[in-house]
Amino acid sequence: MKILITYSSVTGNTKKVAKAIAEELKDCDFLDIKDVKNLDYDIIIVGTWIRRTTADPKAMEFIDKIKGKKVAFFFTLGAYPNSEYADRCIKNITELFLKNNNSLLGNFHCHGAVSPSVIERAMKRSQDDPHGSIEKRMERWKHASTHPDENDLSNAKRYFKEIIGR
């Protein structure tokens, strides 16, 4: 069974999770999304970071090319993993895969530290930002800052081992 684990990652969070999954599944191709040359795989696992409740633009473009495959996805996000926001991300990314007749094996996500540049920009926005008060956002960024941690990585490994059956 040929498996591809590929990821889109700007600050390294999603890559970290991807690497852990690749180490666990063994004997699979592990590639940055920009280095994927073909989709000749039995299972394609895609990792993305979240931007505006869905996959980031590079991952979106890549996902759109996958048709009629067995797939799974994972993501890291700045919002709380156990939230209605994260549920919406799952729903939106699921739809991206299903519209091209792929068969979805599962999905996984965890918190990911938010980059200082994003925090800096957000700090400049007003208090009535839709993402909550500045205090609430600072609390969330602080919580995210240590993720993905060892626990996230072991959860990701366990999850993919179970769904891939290796």
Judge whether 114 and 144 are in contact, CB under 8 Å: yes
Q: CB 69 → ligand FMN: shortest distance, Å? A: 23
Q: Judged by CB under 6 A, which of 92, 94, 100, 115 binds ligand FMN? A: 115
Q: 25: which 2 tokens?
A: 């599944």
By CB neighbour count within 10 A (0-12 exposed, 13-18 middle, 19+ buried), where does 69 fall? middle
Q: Is 102 in the site for ligand FMN (CB under 6 A)?
A: no
Q: Is 122 in the site for ligand FMN (CB under 6 A)?
A: no
* Element (DSSP H or E) covering residue 47: strand 43-51
* CB of 71 closer than 8 Å to CB of 97: yes
Q: Please say which residue, 2 or 131, places its beta carbon nearer to ligand FMN.
A: 131
Please give the structure tokens belonging to residue 28. 């699979």
Q: Which stretch binds ligand FMN (CB under 6 A): 60-68, 93-101, 113-121, 149-157?
A: 113-121
62-101 positions binding ligand FMN, by CB under 6 A: 76-79
Q: Does 112 bind ligand FMN (CB under 6 A)?
A: yes
Residue 132 within binding range of ligand FMN, rule CB under 6 A: no
At closest approach, how far in Å is the CB of 61 from ligand FMN? 16
Distances (CA, A) of 25 to 13, 22, 93, 138, 146: 19, 5, 23, 36, 25
Q: CB under 8 Å to 116, separation ≥6 — which residues?
A: none
> Least separation, in Å, of the C-beta of 114 and ligand FMN?
4
Report the interface residues with ligand FMN, using CB under 6 A. Answer: 9-15, 49-52, 76-79, 112-115, 118
